[in-house]
Structure 1
């Protein structure tokens, strides 16, 4: 049996941009992606601390060191620049593997930098 479990997250990161007229996704600084063990095109859940919105999208690699967290396309309607969000990824694995799996959590500072 396989189950879906919490794989990694970027905990409490600030939205720096919202671009409505874009194909869709979330652009994330590559440093943040690396710290959270998230890769380009990976499906993620976005949880908005400010308004309670939850949505799913995929990740686009942003410029390394830029601090960018940009919701693109329709997702841009679910956030305001300055909102605090949590970016969560999940993985499917066997029940036994999941018992010992340790997720990766990145805690950026107020400027979206890993300390």
Structure 2
């Protein structure tokens, strides 16, 4: 059996911009993508803490170190600059691998900077 598990997340990212007329996606600071193990064009799920909106899109790489988190295209209707969001990736794992898996969690401050250079933690419900 395969299980779908959280692979990584950027926790409490602040939306910095929104571009309705863009083709669509979520621009993420390249440094944050690397820390969270998110590849360009990888599917991401986004949970808006302010509005409760939940949606899927794909990641595109933004300039490193600026903290950019930009909702593009239709995603721009799902939030606004200043909103807090959680960006999550998932992956399928074989049963034994899933039981040993530890997701990568990057906690962000109000400026979209990692609270620690890299934080990997076991998530508990």
TM-score (norm 2): 0.90
Paired positions, count: 115
Q: Within 5 Å, which residues of 2 pair with 1:1-115?
A: 1-115=1-115
Quote the offset at 1:101 in angstroms: 0.5
35-44 vs 18-27, greater mean Cα deviation: 35-44
Tell me how far 1:79 sits from its aligned partner. 0.2
Unpaired runs of at least 5, structure 1: none
Q: Residues 31 and 114 of structure 1 are in contact (CA less than 8 Å); yes or no, is this contact kept in structure 2?
A: no
Query: How far is the alpha carbon of 1:54 from its aligned partner?
Result: 0.1
CA distance in 2, matches of 1:114, 1:78: 24
Where relative contact order (Cα < 8 A, 6+ residues apart) is larger, the structure is 1
Tell me the alpha carbon deviations over residues 14-59 of structure 1, each in whole angstroms, 9 at most, x when there is no partner: 0000100011000000111111111111101000000000000000
Provide structure 2 residue ranges, at least 5 long, that are not aligned to the other structure.
116-125
- RMSD over aligned CA atoms reads 0.7
Aligned structure 1 segments of 4 or more residues deviating by more than 3 angstroms:
none
